[in-house]
């Protein structure tokens, strides 16, 4: 009884296997005749039998997946439906992973054809400004290239996917993809910049600092990362940290006027006026027409007059107070005199800078330079009337 049972089961399995092989053969013949709909139908029937418990030898199983890939690749070329291309690439991948398949090398070559198709579709989407689709397609190229049968680390298309994620504004994708790029090429400062800027956008200051630190260590001479470090310390108001960062930055980029300007600003905030003046003048040496540096140099002196003016206003009318007043006024006017040439240079560079003109007018008046006062006043009137 038991013996008969096993013979029956074996007969059923053999019959199913033959049925699958018949469907597979029909699929292959239909594909060769370019009857793709029939080929698709036959290969689906073979798959259904396999899913219902059927079995095929490794050789025939590999043949099934390889030919399914060929059929769906042909369908994709006829229909340009990305979902069909996905089925084709999945079939070829499955064949390359099927132990004992005699078609795995052929399927690996077909996967390269799938990659080319995805690449073309990705660039077509990009040119059509469908960045979300381009993102997905570039990621698919990266994924297929990573299959064991191909084994390529596709940095170029990972980079393309990152750019598409930036266009779409998908924060998680930008962070994930740029982090992968950094892991692959830590010394490429641009990859660190993509990550840092996205962390700024989402407001994650701790992650931003860590990303900048990692980037500066991996790509110490990358100017963009230098500025990101400077901007970070400026944003949090850490002038001591900023100055340390700027010293490193200036060593890496000694011809960059903005670094000296930022150093002057930080030193001015710390009331280290002489050092600030030297930093601003260094930036002017690099660019004699640097408006901001002239303006800030003038402000450096004008800011120092504020406490003197407060003291002057709080004095009385006694002879002693008047003596103090005159001494403070002399100090104030000396600072005004030092600020004046920088204000004039700033006005020379930008004759429409009203705030600078008002400051120059006041300085000229307080220092009894009436010619300068009249010129500044006349220019102000021409701009405001």
What are the strands, taking DSSP E only, across 256-364?
A: none
Is 190 domain-assigned? no
Q: Note the pLDDT tens digit of each residue in 242-277.
A: 888 888 888 888 998 988 998 998 898 888 999 999
* Total domains present in the chain: 1
- Output the six-digit token pair for 339: 């600020």
Gap between the Cα atoms of 146 and 152, Å rounded: 5
Q: Is the separation of the CB atoms in 65 and 92 below 8 Å?
A: yes
Is residue 384 situated within a structural domain?
Answer: yes
Q: Does residue 379 lie in a domain region?
A: yes
Q: Decide if 302 is inside a domain.
A: yes
Q: State the pLDDT at residue 246.
A: 86
Q: Is residue 325 part of a domain?
A: yes
Residue 298 domain flag:
yes
**Nearest partner of 65 among 34, 22, 32, 108, judged by Cα:** 108
Q: What is the CATH number of the domain that holds 330?
A: 1.25.40
Whole-number Å distance between alpha carbons of 91 and 239: 60
User: Of 168, 172, 163, which Cα lies nearest the Cα of 138?
Assistant: 163
* 368, part of any domain: yes
Q: What is the span of the domain harbouring residue 385?
A: 289-385
Are the C-beta atoms of residues 117 and 76 closer than 8 Å to each other? yes
DSSP at 130: -
State which residues of the chain have pLDDT below 70.
Answer: 1-20, 53-54
pLDDT value of residue 45: 92
pLDDT tens column, 146-196: 999 999 999 999 999 999 999 999 999 999 999 999 999 999 999 999 999
The whole-angstrom separation of Cα 209 and Cα 188 is 18
Say what the pLDDT of residue 11 is. 37
């Amino acid at each position: 009884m038991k013996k008969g049972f096993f013979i029956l089961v074996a007969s059923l399995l053999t019959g199913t296997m033959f049925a699958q092989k018949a469907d597979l053969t029909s699929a292959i013949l239909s594909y060769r005749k370019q009857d793709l709909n029939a080929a698709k139908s036959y290969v689906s029937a073979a798959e259904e039998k396999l899913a219902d418990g059927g079995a095929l030898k490794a050789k025939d199983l590999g043949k099934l997946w390889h030919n399914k890939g060929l059929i769906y690749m042909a369908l994709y070329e006829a229909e340009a439906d990305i979902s069909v291309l996905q089925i084709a690439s999945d079939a070829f991948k499955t064949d390359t992973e099927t132990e004992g398949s005699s078609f795995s090398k052929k399927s690996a070559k077909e996967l390269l054809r799938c990659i080319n198709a995805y690449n073309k579709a990705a660039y077509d989407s990009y040119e059509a400004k469908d960045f979300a689709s381009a993102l997905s397609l570039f990621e698919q190229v990266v994924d297929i290239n990573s299959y064991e049968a191909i084994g390529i680390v596709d940095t170029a298309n990972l980079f393309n996917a990152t750019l598409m994620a930036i266009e779409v504004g998908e924060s998680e994708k930008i962070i994930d993809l740029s982090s992968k790029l950094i892991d692959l090429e830590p010394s490429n400062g641009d990859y660190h910049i993509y990550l840092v800027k996205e962390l700024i956008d989402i407001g994650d200051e701790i992650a931003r600092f860590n990303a900048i630190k990692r980037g500066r260590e991996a790509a110490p001479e990358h100017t963009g990362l230098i500025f990101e470090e400077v901007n970070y310390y400026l944003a949090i108001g850490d002038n001591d940290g900023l100055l340390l960062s700027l010293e490193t930055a200036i060593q890496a980029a000694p011809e960059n006027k903005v670094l000296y300007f930022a150093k002057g600003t930080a030193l001015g905030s710390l009331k280290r006026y002489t050092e600030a003046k030297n930093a601003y003048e260094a930036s002017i040496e690099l660019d004699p027409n640097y408006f901001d540096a002239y303006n800030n140099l003038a402000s450096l002196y004008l800011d120092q007059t504020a406490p003197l003016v407060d003291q002057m206003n709080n004095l009385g009318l006694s002879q002693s107070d008047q003596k103090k007043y005159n001494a403070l006024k002399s100090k104030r006017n000396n600072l005004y005199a030092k600020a004046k040439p920088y204000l004039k240079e700033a006005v020379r560079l930008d004759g429409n800078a009203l705030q600078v003109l008002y400051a120059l007018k006041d300085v000229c008046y307080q220092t009894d330079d009436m010619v300068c006062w009249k010129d500044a006043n006349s220019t102000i009137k021409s701009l405001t009337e």
